[in-house]
Amino acid sequence: MKKILPLLILALICCQLSSFAQIPNGDFENLNSDGTISNWGNVYITQIVVDSSGNVVLDSIVADGPYYQKTTDAYSGMYAMEMRNSYDFTLNTGRAGSVSSDADSVYSAWGSLEFVNIQMQPTDFSFYYKYTSVGNDTGIASLIVYDTLGYQVGNATVLFTGSNSTYQYVSMPVQYTGTDPVAFYSLNFSTKFSAADYPTSPNLGSRLTIDDVRMSGTTGIESSGLRENNFSLYPNPARNLININSKYQGEVNFKIFDAFGKVVASGILSQGIQTISVSSFDAGIYSMDLNCTGKSVQSRFVVIK
């Protein structure tokens, strides 16, 4: 298993969840003593060249503004996070604005990757954003989830194209490639996605603004009243099947919905443990509705491939 897998370009799915796990200062309201935003940052290195005569030559950089900074143009609250590009004339290339989540109040990683402890298994990643693209720049938000050994077990990726002057909401399911317990995450936003399919350097003028960054999920079985109503669901994430343990004395009608609200399975459950095949399901997040004597109980589970 590789520690870093190629980024997956996923379709945007807008679905608001009811239970959120707060990313440290995900609403950007907490500030450090110097006015910078707590728990977010990045490290930028400037090239220094010393020639044979001992002359020092620095990169000649033109900036559209700070690589990242707080802004009062917020979706909610006082502040949001804004990123801008610069251009390095020494290297003849653009430099993307970028910011990453950090458990510490002041960013401490040398690069764009910082591991943050996590006590739950995220199922969805959401935020509000504005994006201005210059020269067909494409921005990116990348969430990666790791197990206790630091191996990647899940990710969610959002690409930004075009320009929008009003805040847009995005909610993206976390796609899992394994069932190992999660322990860490890394989260990075950038004004420019760099890959073989996007070879151009960042352009001056491209900007990305984000606010209210969240992850949703649970510490175990994803439940909205399951245990309280004598039901349990496992394994989660699942590959080929899920088990429903019903202690309810009577028949229970169930429906399973995909992320678009389409019913992909339905039937009747009896008391005891029953198995439902999900082998034909695409990878993603599904919701289950259990109905007994007019009472509805909901749950969500993840299917991986």
The closest alpha carbon to 154, from 109, 204, 118, 189, belongs to 118
Distance of alpha carbon 248 from alpha carbon 230, whole angstroms: 6
pLDDT digits (tens, 9 = 90+) for 57-77: 666 777 777 889 999 999 999
| Stronger pLDDT, 192 or 294, i.e. the higher one | 192
**Residue showing tokens 């910082």:** 114
pLDDT digits (tens, 9 = 90+) for 122-149: 888 999 999 999 988 899 999 999 988 8
**Against a cut of 0.75, is the pTM above it?**
no
Note the pLDDT of residue 195: 63
pLDDT digits (tens, 9 = 90+) for 85-113: 888 777 777 888 899 999 888 876 655 56
pLDDT digits (tens, 9 = 90+) for 233-283: 777 778 888 888 888 888 888 999 887 788 999 999 888 888 999 999 988
Maximum distance among all Cα pairs of the chain, rounded to whole angstroms: 88
- The secondary structure of residue 227, as a DSSP letter, is G
